[in-house]
């Protein structure tokens, strides 16, 4: 069996190393790249190098940004009295798309996970506490995912925030909108029943 062009194989391997890209997709992407012209390839590689060089954590909320203070933290039209705590930057992309929140964020860059050796000190929890201390923050929404690690992290932060005389809330559990009862797991259903709202 011929392995084909070594350079091409290397390129396919690079793509295959990315998350969610299987062997066949990696080859398809490698071949696709050869159909682009020199300028398109340079735009692609330069965008990548540029992003890698210039994107860093916002000094306030720890979200990824090109600026010193990200555009959300410096936007005066947003509610600066409420912080939504999320696991990672891409959660902010989803929340912003939902148009359901107009306050500020705080990115933990992970969840407490003792099995993976990740403790509270590996997250940005100390930045959150420092940020809230002496500020006009009235509420913190803990929006980590409803997984074991997400729950544990929310509980941990909630205990630290309790003495600070601010409202600490947790995103609601329930049925995903558009989801069918028969396909939803039992724990979600029992949470949806438990948290039922009067009509």
Q: Which of 60, 61, 62, 65 binds a copy of itself (CB under 8 A)?
A: 65
Is 44 a binding residue for a copy of itself by CB under 8 A? The answer is yes
Task: Work out whether 30 is an interface residue with a copy of itself (CB under 8 A).
Answer: yes
Count interface residues toward a copy of itself (CB under 8 A).
58
> Cβ neighbours of residue 68 under 8 Å, at least 6 residues apart?
58, 59
| Binding of residue 83 to a copy of itself (CB under 8 A) | no
Nearer to a copy of itself, 97 or 196 (CB): 97
- Out of 59, 66, 148, 190, which residue is the one contacting a copy of itself (CB under 8 A)? 66
The nearer residue to a copy of itself, 98 or 133, going by C-beta atoms, is: 98
Shortest separation between residue 75's beta carbon and a copy of itself, angstroms: 7
Answer for which of 6, 177, 181, 199 binds a copy of itself (CB under 8 A) is 6
Binding site for a copy of itself (CB under 8 A): 1-8, 10-11, 14, 18-21, 24-25, 27-34, 36, 38, 41-45, 47-52, 54-55, 63-66, 70-72, 75, 88-90, 92-93, 96-97, 99, 182-183
């Amino acid at each position: 069996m011929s392995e084909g062009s070594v350079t091409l194989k290397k390129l396919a391997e690079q793509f295959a190393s990315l998350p969610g890209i299987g062997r066949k997709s990696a080859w398809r992407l490698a071949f696709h790249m050869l159909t682009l012209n020199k300028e398109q390839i340079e735009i692609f590689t330069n965008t990548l190098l540029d992003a890698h060089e210039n994107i860093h954590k916002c000094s306030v909320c720890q979200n990824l940004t090109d600026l010193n203070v990200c555009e959300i933290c410096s936007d005066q039209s947003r509610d600066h009295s409420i912080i939504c705590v999320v696991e990672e930057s891409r959660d902010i992309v989803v929340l912003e798309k939902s148009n359901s929140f107009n306050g500020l964020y705080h990115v933990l860059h992970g969840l407490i996970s003792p099995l993976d050796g990740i403790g509270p000190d590996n997250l940005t929890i100390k930045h959150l506490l420092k940020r809230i201390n002496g500020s006009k923050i009235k509420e913190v929404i803990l929006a980590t995912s409803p997984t074991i690690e997400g729950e544990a992290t929310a509980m941990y932060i909630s205990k630290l925030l309790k003495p600070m005389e601010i409202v600490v809330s947790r995103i609601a559990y329930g049925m995903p909108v558009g989801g069918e009862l028969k396909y939803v797991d039992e724990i979600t259903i029992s949470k949806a029943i438990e948290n039922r709202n009067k009509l």
